[in-house]
Chains A and B, each alone.
Chain A
Amino acid sequence: MAHVSSLLFSPVANNISKKLILSNAAPAISSNLIQRCYLSSAGSHNYDIIIAGGGLVGTAMACALGCSKILSEKKILLLEGAPPKPITLKDTYSNRVSAINNSSVGLFQDIQVWDDIKGHRVQEVRKMQIWDASSPSLITFSDEDLSKPVAYIIENDLMQWALTKRLGDIPNSSVRYSSKIKDYVLPKSSSSDVPLVILENDEKLTCNLLIGADGVNSKVRSKMVTSVQRTDYNQMGVVATLSISDSTNNIVAWQRFLPDGVIALLPLSESTSSLVWSTSVEKAKSLVNLPEESFVDAVNDALLKEYPSNPFVESLLKNLNLAASVDCQIPPSIKDVQPNSRAAFPLGSTSVSRYVNSCVALIGDAAHRVHPLAGQGVNIGFGDVDCLAHQLENAVYQGYQLGRGHHLKIYQSERLKNTLPKMKAIHYLHSLYQSSFTPIVALRSVGLSLVHSMPFVKKELIKRANL
């Protein structure tokens, strides 16, 4: 029945790991995790809310629902197909990291995991520089005088650990690992039936509301009446953990548009940065297999190499008085790649027309997957969590039965309003940067430079990226 993930940290003798071990003294095994449920008339266990999928977004959902006073009498179950994996934060950094925006930090504060996360290791990003390899245009984002972070670079494992630990303290929610879901039977709209969840071992569970947080190939979604649009970019994202040569103030996130992709360097600590390099499938595969030294050279090349800039574009920018006013800063050069930290992931985008049906809602990658270009993926998912939790609170505080009423539709329309423009913009940026065709290079350069020269528009952009 209830499993408790063993959240252990490898005992490495340095300050960081000591701190990690200490905070792990919080009750890892909690009687709260004992299944609370009752038998429905059909003989299956019934919950108020079942969340399918215990990734970052599903686990955050369980925490957000569990933290709500209004929902404190609802029985919540999180089902995760994978076995409980001990999350080990070593003193080396994991290669899966996310750029977390300020709205997501707001959610982390609300569900009381931010202190835990921040107490370990997060890297503040005070400035982002986005520039173009084939034109002199550039854009930077920062708070005036770099006083406030524009984002935080956080390891996915650290977030998962903090969320899982928090969930253990919540009395009305429980987690079951190794509980792969085989099938769902969803109610027709306006019927009084409730969703049925069938596990691999044929166990049946029912709930008033089913939340699909089962990732990009969501099975919940496949059972819903919704159309799915997939775009395959024929690209892969190469990730790696890198050490940088001049370990100074590593607080800038760098993103450079190359003729054949985008390379991003995200700060992790004074001397380490994380790489996310989207490029063609062939190139990605070769990058992953290069000897370490050649890989480091390839990365340095991609970040620093001077490309012949397009003379037409250059004169256009000059004529428009948009020649970069701020000098393009040079990113740090890379010294080493951490052994075994390289990996490649296929990149695609998925968008669906509906996020909800009667008694069902989708969140996270199940509802939308974006190109990691803008570092928005998991942030959009955390935005879903915040919005859905609030709508469910409103519904219950207005006396609705969970899963009924118009609140799911409000969730859907709010999130579509927020997500669709982002997905379009990311898609559009991606197509724009696929090209070295002069008019398009001109267009994107003018675009970047125009945005950069208009502080108001830039502020607006930062605000939106943070929503």
Chain B
Amino acid sequence: MSVSTIVSSVAKSRSAFLCQSVRPFTTVQNGHKSSQTSVDPSTVSHHSKLAENWWDDSGFLKALQSMNSLRVPLVRDGLFQTGAACSDRKNTPRPLEGLNIVDVGCGGGLLSEPLARLGASVTGIDASAELIEIAQQHAQLDPSLQNRLTYIHTLAETHACEAEAKYDAVVSSEVIEHVKDKHFFIEQCTKLLKPRGSLFITTLNRTTLSWLGGVVMAEYVARLVPQGTHQWELFIQPSELQIMLEKYGCFTKLLHGMCYNPLTDEWHWSQNVSINYAIHAVKTD
């Protein structure tokens, strides 16, 4: 369905208004001051610049790649726990067969690909056209992904209009810390979910430690990620995120800290949520 059909069919409703923002991603609509949006154009252009190194495992995004060892099992086992994934499928080649998952802010597809390999039908959406192209090119290297993975260059709010309540799971990993209007973003994510669907979010906490570890160490000292990748003021604390989720009918099932060792490039689950953490929330009926 093209943007213009949506616009014409859904007249002047709020959602139709939101859907228009898909076009040039400008924040100025009909002469009005900025409309509500989940995207911060500067972060998108920043991430776009990293596009060509996205899948390079010695490049900046190394930590994001190795994070898969935690977040793929988080999603897989979380979906077994809610019963969305049938327990007969445990320890089979395609444990997530038959499930629809959207990866909001998928970037180059680091997380979308493994979820599709586990059998899910995955839609990856991102605000950056460059990254969507990188993701599409990379997916072609693995023929087994062909019918299971679709990438769309769009925003969360736009996709929420097109695919409301379509997904068994919404995954948004390392995105919300780049988003200014977090309430609005979470609202869009929950809108994409079916009742009893699961929302998986990983992000950075807003603590002194995360400022030291996530910004100063990672960007300036160890140069793990390029400078300017993170704005600490945008980081969100788990309790704030939980309250926000509840507002949109999602209740936290699990909150875990994630701990990174840059020397070995390994991630571990931890009690400590003061830098990186993951949340699994489930939408009520």
Using CB atoms and an 8 Å cutoff, list the residues of chain A in contact with chain B.
69-74, 190, 192, 396-401, 405-406
- Name B104-151 residues within 8 Å CB distance of A: 113-118, 141-142
Query: Are B69 and A397 within 8 A (Cβ)?
Result: no
Q: B265 and A406: CB pair below 8 A? A: yes
> Interface residues, chain B, CB within 8 Å of chain A?
56-58, 66, 68-69, 72-73, 76, 91-95, 113-118, 141-142, 265-266
Most buried by B among A72, A396, A399: A399
Q: How far is the CA of A264 from the CA of B123 in the complex (A)?
A: 64
Closest 5 CB pairs between A and B?
A: A399-B114, A399-B117, A73-B93, A398-B72, A399-B118
Bound Cα distance from A69 to B114, whole angstroms: 18
Asked if B69 contacts A406 (CB within 8 A), the reply is: yes
Closest Cβ neighbor of B92 among chain A residues: A69
Asked if residues B92 and A70 are in contact (CB atoms below 8 Å), the reply is yes
| Contact B68 A398, beta carbon cutoff 8 Å | yes
- Residue of B with least CB distance to A358: B57
In Å, the complex CA distance between A73 and B115 comes to 17
CB atoms of A399 and B92 under 8 A apart: no
Bound: A401/B143 CA distance, A: 11
B91 adjacent to A70 (CB under 8 Å):
yes
Shortest Cβ distance from B55 into chain A, in angstroms?
8
CB-based contact A192/B72 at 8 Å: no
**A396 with B93, Cβ < 8 A, contacts A192-B141, A401-B117 known:** yes
Chain B residues with Cβ below 8 Å from A406 are 66, 69, 265-266
Contact B141 A399 (CB under 8 A): no
Residue from the list B57, B72, B91, B265 in contact with A399, Cβ < 8 A: B72
A401 in contact with B142 given A190-B58, A406-B265 (CB within 8 Å):
yes
A397 touching B95, Cβ below 8 Å: yes
B142 CB contacts on chain A under 8 angstroms: 401
What is the distance, in angstroms, from B85's C-beta to the closest C-beta of chain A?
Answer: 13
- Complex formed: what's the CA distance from A404 to B15 in Å? 42
The A-B contact count (CB < 8 A) is: 46
Least Cβ–Cβ distance between A42 and chain B, in angstroms: 13
List the B side residues contacting A74 at CB < 8 Å: 93
A397 contact set on B, CB distance < 8 A = 76, 91, 95, 118
Per the bound structure, the CA–CA distance linking A396 and B96 in Å amounts to 13
Interface secondary structure of A, over-half rule = loop
Question: Which A residues are in CB contact (< 8 Å) with B265?
Answer: 406
**Are A400 and B114 touching (Cβ within 8 A)?**
yes
Q: Which A-chain residue is minimally distant from B71 (CB atoms)?
A: A398
Report Cα–Cα, A401/B113, bound state, in Å: 9
Min CB distance, B54 to chain A, in Å? Answer: 12
Q: Contact: A399 with B68, CB < 8 Å?
A: yes
Are A398 and B73 within 8 A (Cβ)? yes
Report A-chain residues with C-beta under 8 Å of the C-beta of B94: 73
Which residue of A is nearest B113, CB measured?
A399
A266 to chain B, nearest CB (A): 39
How far does the Cβ of B269 sit from chain A's closest Cβ, in whole Å? 14
Q: How far is the CA of A428 from the CA of B73 in the complex (A)?
A: 44
| B95:A190 contact, CB within 8 angstroms | no
Please tell me if the beta carbons of A69 and B91 are within 8 angstroms of each other in the complex: yes
11 contacts between A and B (CB under 8 A): A72-B93, A190-B56, A192-B141, A398-B69, A398-B72, A398-B73, A399-B68, A399-B116, A399-B118, A401-B117, A405-B68
Pair B57/A190 contact, Cβ less than 8 Å = yes
Q: How far is the CA of A70 from the CA of B95 in the complex (A)?
A: 9
Q: How distant is the Cα of A467 from the Cα of B69 in the complex, in angstroms? A: 26
Min CB gap A391→B, angstroms: 12
B198 CB, nearest partner CB in chain A, Å: 17
Q: Which residues of B contact A192 (CB under 8 A)?
A: 141
Contacts of A71 in B (CB 8 A): 93
Interface centre among B68, B69, B91 (most CB of A within 10 A): B69
Question: Looking across the interface, which residue of chain B has its beta carbon closest to that of A401?
Answer: B142
Which residue of the partner chain A has the closest CB to B120? A399
A213 to chain B, nearest CB (A): 24
* Chain A positions within 8 Å of B117 at CB level: 396, 399-401
Q: Which residues of A contact B57 (CB under 8 A)?
A: 190
For A399, list chain B residues within 8 Å (CB). Answer: 68, 72, 113-118
Residue of B nearest to A68 (CB): B91
A400 to B73, CA, bound (A): 12
Structural contact, A398 and B91, CB atoms closer than 8 A = no
**Contact: A70 with B93, CB < 8 Å?**
yes
Q: How far is the CB of B10 from chain A (nearest CB, A)?
A: 36
Residue of B nearest to A72 (CB): B93
B134 to chain A, nearest CB (A): 13
- Closest B residue by C-beta to A398: B72
Given A70-B93, A73-B94: 6 more A-B contacts, CB < 8 Å: A397-B76, A397-B91, A397-B118, A399-B115, A399-B118, A406-B266
Neighbouring B residues of A401 by C-beta, 8 Å? 117, 142
- Neighbour of B114 across the interface among A70, A72, A73, A398, CB < 8 A: A398
- State A382–B239 Cα separation when bound (angstroms): 49
Bound complex: CA A168 to CA B92 (Å): 22
Q: Across the two chains, which residue of chain B brings its CB closest to A48? A: B144
A171 vs B266: C-alpha distance in the bound complex, in angstroms? 36
- Measured in the bound complex, the distance between the Cα atoms of B127 and A186 in whole Å is 37
With a CB–CB cut-off of 8 A, which chain B residues contact A405? Answer: 68
A256 to chain B, nearest CB (A): 45
User: Which of A70, A73, A396, A398 counts the most B-chain CB atoms under 10 A from its CB?
Assistant: A398
Inter-chain CA distance A119–B26, complex, in Å, is: 75
Contacts of A73 in B (CB 8 A): 93-94
Question: Which residue of chain B is the closest to A406 with respect to CB atoms?
Answer: B66
- Report Cα–Cα, A400/B69, bound state, in Å: 9
Q: What's the Cα separation between A192 and B68 when bound, in Å?
A: 19
Residue of A nearest to B265 (CB): A406
What separation, in Å, do the CA atoms of A50 and B244 have in the docked complex? 50
Q: How far is the CA of A73 from the CA of B68 in the complex (A)?
A: 22
Name the residue on B nearest A404 (C-beta): B57
B145 nearest in chain A by CB position: A401
